[in-house]
Amino acid sequence: MIEERCPFCKRDPYHYVDIGVGYAPVAIVCCNLGIALYGGNKQVAKLLSLKQSGSPRKQARAKRMIEAMQL
């Protein structure tokens, strides 16, 4: 199984259920930004690209966007 981590909270984003021959991910249970990202929110995907950028200006913009979203 590939171990995947949420880029925002660094936890495993999925809840797993035993299906008899292994475990299958059935729900996303990490932070609000992770739920939006794995749910397909384009604004959060843009935020992630800014956060992972090498530019300090883009990283600062991402930080301001995160603070604005978590009011």
What was the pLDDT predicted at 2?
Answer: 56
For residue 1, pLDDT beyond 90: no
17, with CB counted inside 10 A (0-12, 13-18, 19+), is exposed
Local structure of 69: helix, strand or coil:
helix
For residue 8, pLDDT beyond 80: yes
Q: What is the pTM of this model?
A: 0.73
| pLDDT tens track for 20-66 | 999 998 898 888 888 888 888 898 889 989 999 999 999 999 999 88
What was the pLDDT predicted at 39?
Answer: 87
Residue type, 64: R
What lies within 8 Å, CB to CB, of 25 at 6+ separation is 14, 15, 16
Instruction: Specify the residue for token string 């880029």.
Output: 7
The number of C-alpha atoms within 13 Å of 22 and in the hemisphere containing its C-beta is: 3
What was the pLDDT predicted at 3?
Answer: 63
